[in-house]
Amino acid sequence: MRISPNSNSQFELPKLGYGYDALEAAIDAPTMEIHYTKHHQGYVDKLNAALEGQTSLVGRPLDDILGDLESVPEEIRSSVRNNGGGHYNHSLFWQIMGPGGGGEPVGQLAGAITQAFGSFDSFRRQFTAAALTRFGSGWAWLSVNNGKLVVSSTPNQDNPLMEGAFPILGLDVWEHAYYLRYQNKRPEYVEQWWSVVNWEYVNKLFTTNE
């Protein structure tokens, strides 16, 4: 997913394509609102602050930066990793969910998942296991690595770009993503989350690689 800065070289909170209550089947409106307006906005603000005056990084798309963290000056590298990762991961997260989501993968992705994992159910079990075994805060991922579909998880706001892979589906398992409704019951959150996955968008990422 390409995320470019605006003409003032600032990253911006992307528009949410649906209301805070649109994902009620899985995520309550207060959680959506806080997650988007406070957590995500916070990552954007801190990323912009870290990049201030960094002429070598001005205008570079965020996905390029995250795939090449060695090129980021050491004094801001961890801030860019955490807050840039936070901006990228949440921007993706809002897109791969949507009202009327759920069901099974569509398009070329459907066949690719069956080929890589045996079946959609088998993929779903592997992805769920990645989400549930991620200790503490982090993300579960489906990404494309050298043309191969791979399930993984990362700590904090890290993501597969940092390992040279291209993420097409991500699940936020930080407690801030689910605590209001589910408290400590991460398995229930993950189970419900499948009902809001926007497979059309995931397939688009898979087929266009952009």
**Which residues of this protein are in contact with Mn ion, per CB under 5 A?**
172, 174, 177
Question: What's the closest the beta carbon of residue 89 comes to Mn ion, in angstroms?
Answer: 7
The kind and range of the H/E element at 201 are helix 199-208
Closest CB to Mn ion among residues 89, 143: 89
Of 208, 200, 120, 130, the closest CA to residue 171 belongs to 130
* DSSP codes, 64-122: HHHTTGGGS-HHHHHHIIIIIHHHHHHHHHHHTB-TT--S---HHHHHHHHHHHSSHHH
Q: How far is CA 42 from the centre of its chain?
A: 16
Q: What CA–CA distance (Å, rounded) separates 63 from 44?
A: 14
The kind and range of the H/E element at 204 are helix 199-208
Dihedral angle, C-alpha 186, 188, 190, 194, nearest 10 °: -170
Question: What's the closest the beta carbon of residue 17 comes to Mn ion, in angstroms?
Answer: 17
Closest CB to Mn ion among residues 62, 112: 62
Task: Give me 78's structure tokens.
Answer: 């961890």
Closest CB to Mn ion among residues 117, 174: 174
Question: What's the closest the beta carbon of residue 15 comes to Mn ion, in angstroms?
Answer: 18
Question: What's the closest the beta carbon of residue 6 comes to Mn ion, in angstroms?
Answer: 23
Q: How far is CA 111 from CA 11, 43, 108, 116, in A?
A: 36, 36, 6, 9
Question: What's the closest the beta carbon of residue 128 comes to Mn ion, in angstroms?
Answer: 18
Closest CB to Mn ion among residues 165, 171: 171
Question: What's the closest the beta carbon of residue 75 comes to Mn ion, in angstroms?
Answer: 25
Closest CB to Mn ion among residues 65, 177: 177
Closest CB to Mn ion among residues 47, 177: 177
3-state secondary structure of 142: strand
